[in-house]
A and B are shown apart, each in its own frame.
Chain A
Amino acid sequence: MKHLKIDNLHVSIGDREILRGLSLDLPTGQVHAIMGPNGSGKSTLAKVIAGHPDYTVTSGDVLFDGESILEMEPDVRARKGIFLAFQYPSEIPGVTIANFLRAALQARLPEGEELEATEYYAKLYEKMDLLEMPRTFTSRPVNEGFSGGEKKRCEILQMAMLQPTFALLDETDSGLDIDALKIVSHGVNSLRGPDTGMLVITHYQRLLDYIVPDVVHVMVNGRIVESGTKELALKLEAEGYDWANEPEAEAVGA
């Protein structure tokens, strides 16, 4: 079992502090959900773990199986096994999904070794079938002109191909209708297993009906304020976040 450990993490963008001492331990084999109101810092957490350059870690640490990853470049973290499914995936004009994923897999091979094309396409088609994506998708430029649902499916396809140790799913349910939500959830669930840990970030309980978490954390104002079983999500759904708001806390941007 491996652990992704977030230890008393403080993060700022400019002079604004967004994460204010956040701690969390995600082992492989589990799915943790983070729920919280808009602006609580959920997306920031995901982006900081992935190494987004806009954020400054002022104190605390992020440990991948005991090793700090904060000094590592984003591509190094990704090859180590961190995967971020973006809330707003970038459009990459002119780069097809097939070429993009091939480059990502190629980057994981030892120098001088070439990706085997037949195996690659067999695996790609298998994962696309799982996500009910037509084969023509492979020759479309990444995310360009995709609907919201197609973008999210494309994120999960990448996750399925790259088989990360820890996956961070940032608002993967946003912009999805119920059919797309089911397909995406099915894809995510098929990737659950003893060697993968997932952090599912969501604003709504709805996603957790389909991706059932082992642990639910409630995040408010840059901190985890409560953790519990999946029933906690139902409580949030029924009662909102007001009970969890600390009286002295001020609103914080996303």
Chain B
Amino acid sequence: MNMATAPVSGVPLIEGALVEGHWPEWFVASRQRGWEDFQKLPAPAAKDEKWRFSNVRALSLDAFRYPGAVADAAALTARSTGLGESAARFVFGNNRLLSATAPAADLVAAGLVIMTLEEAATKHADLVQKHFMAQEAKLGSAKYAALHRSGPINGVFIRVPKNLEVAQPIEIFHWVEGESSAVFPHTLVVCERHSKATVVDCFRSADGAPAFACGVNDLVVEEGAKLNYVAVQQWSPSSVAFHLNSTIVGRDASCLGMQVNLGGKFVRNENYSRMVSEGARSDMLSVNIASDEQMIDQRTFQDHAKPNATSDLLYQNALTGKGRTVFSGVIRVEPGAHKTDAYQKVRNIVLSDDAEANSMPGLEIEADDVRCTHGATTAQIDDRELFYLEARGIRPDAARQLLVMGFFNTVLDRLPDARLRGHIEGLVEARLTSALRS
């Protein structure tokens, strides 16, 4: 089963990945289709509505290549400091597993499965095959989803069995190291009925080198289950990254997803959330800092397939330098999805004259008796608030930082776990400090 397929030889971006690992037939076939689709699909064009305001010129992938192993796996594992205490911790570097801390024996005995996707593709073939990239990438990046599918991936499969509550977060680190390295992280989470879990993905660069990341996560939250998922993106400031998310929320289930973008030069984030049954709830949150010449381009889709479901999106961006953000979001209410309650809000705080925030909220409603609200605001720091802080002796730089953190706190406050919140807040604050100085 360890086979490389012919068409990809001579493609530095993924060559080398395909001779690694032991993947089952079904995956190899899916990989083949992914590669064909990647070749067939056109590159994004500036005139494409799904790429409006984006920077398609940033998308040349010619220079990137599939990397060799990291120089020092132990050192990167040691640098994978996150929450301190977690239910399990997986550390990947340049697409290879560096270390894994398995969950406690009682959780394993209760049926909790956390393993590499590669291992799960065989051991839990039915579940992985059912949910692995089951949703089509609809928000513009189908070509990059196909590239991801073409096979150079690594990552984690998590199955939280029925009724199990995993108290501590599950942490996953993906490191990239070396000039022009390409990584393809994947996280697949299945929360079975009435289970509960928190998963944190941390994307980090080991050095300042330009890298390419093409990541996908699939989140499946079954009836009555609760999933918190946080992705903290800290790729190097010269990196190009795609992070494509798909969330499926079942009856009376809820998913809180938070994307935190602190790194990268060009970052494309697509978040798709589908409420497939009544009583489903999806909280879609994001905190983004764009400084220097960074672009953070986010597309979202709140898909209400069934009545009585709720989605609540809050994205907040702070921009400085020549930072740019794009938000394009759609709330879609399918015919018959009555009593939908959908909310979408993007808020930008612009801290420099050269920064640019683009917001395109949108609604597609095909049902009656729904409550859908959306809005976008862009503001600068309020002079009265700044004076109030300065009048207490707080220096102007610190005052600005405090006000922007206050702006972000309205999103961070939505995280249900105080320790996780504190950890994320610390990362955001450190990034903001450097962004305000640059």
Residues of A within 8 A of B (CB): 50-53, 73-75, 78-79, 83-84, 86, 89-95, 99-100, 103-104, 107-108, 141, 158, 162
Contact = CB atoms under 8 A, between A and B. Distances in A.
B408 A158 contact: no
A75 B389 CA distance: 8
B409 interface: yes
A95 B391 contact: no
B409 A73 contact: no
B324 to A, nearest CB: 24
10 contacts: A74-B390, A75-B393, A75-B395, A75-B399, A83-B391, A90-B382, A92-B389, A95-B405, A107-B395, A162-B392
Interface string B314-349: 000000000000000000000000000000000000
Contacts of A104: 389, 392-394
A52 B390 CA distance: 10
B26 interface: no
A100 B387 CA distance: 13
B391 A162 contact: no
A78 B393 contact: yes
A90 B385 contact: yes
Contacts of B387: 52-53, 74, 90
Interface string B401-417: 01101111110010000
A142 to B, nearest CB: 8
Contacts of A79: 393
B406 A95 contact: yes
Nearest to A158: B392
A66 to B, nearest CB: 21
Nearest to B388: A90
Nearest to B408: A94
Contacts of B389: 92, 100, 103-104
A79 B391 CA distance: 9
Given A73-B396, A90-B384, A100-B402, A84 B409 contact: no
A5 B330 CA distance: 61
B398 interface: yes
A91 B405 CA distance: 14
Nearest to B406: A94
Nearest to B410: A94
Contacts of B405: 94-95
- Nearest first, the 10 A-B pairs at minimum CB distance are A94-B406, A94-B409, A78-B393, A95-B406, A90-B388, A104-B392, A74-B390, A75-B390, A79-B393, A107-B393
A90 B383 CA distance: 10
B381 to A, nearest CB: 11
A35 to B, nearest CB: 23
Interface of B: 382-385, 387-396, 398-399, 402-403, 405-410, 413
Given A92-B389, A162-B393, 4 more contacts: A93-B407, A94-B408, A94-B410, A107-B394
B80 to A, nearest CB: 27
A50 B410 CA distance: 30
Contacts of B388: 86, 89-90, 92
Contacts of B413: 94
Contact of B392 (A52, A78, A93, A141): A78
Contact of A74 (B391, B403, B406): B391
A100 B406 CA distance: 10
Contacts of A75: 390-396, 399
A228 B406 CA distance: 46
A122 to B, nearest CB: 20
A141 B405 CA distance: 12
A52 B387 CA distance: 7
A100 B401 CA distance: 11
A50 B398 contact: no
Contacts of A95: 402-403, 405-406, 409
Contacts of A73: 390, 396
B421 to A, nearest CB: 13
B410 A93 contact: yes
A86 B385 CA distance: 12
B383 to A, nearest CB: 8
Contact of A94 (B383, B391, B407): B407
Q: Which of A84, A86, A93 has the most CB of B within 10 A?
A: A93
Most buried by A among B392, B399, B405: B392
B407 A108 contact: no
Nearest to B397: A75
A103 B409 contact: no
Given A75-B399, A89-B388, A92-B388, A108 B408 contact: no
Contacts of B385: 90-92
A84 B391 CA distance: 7
A157 to B, nearest CB: 12
A91 B402 CA distance: 13
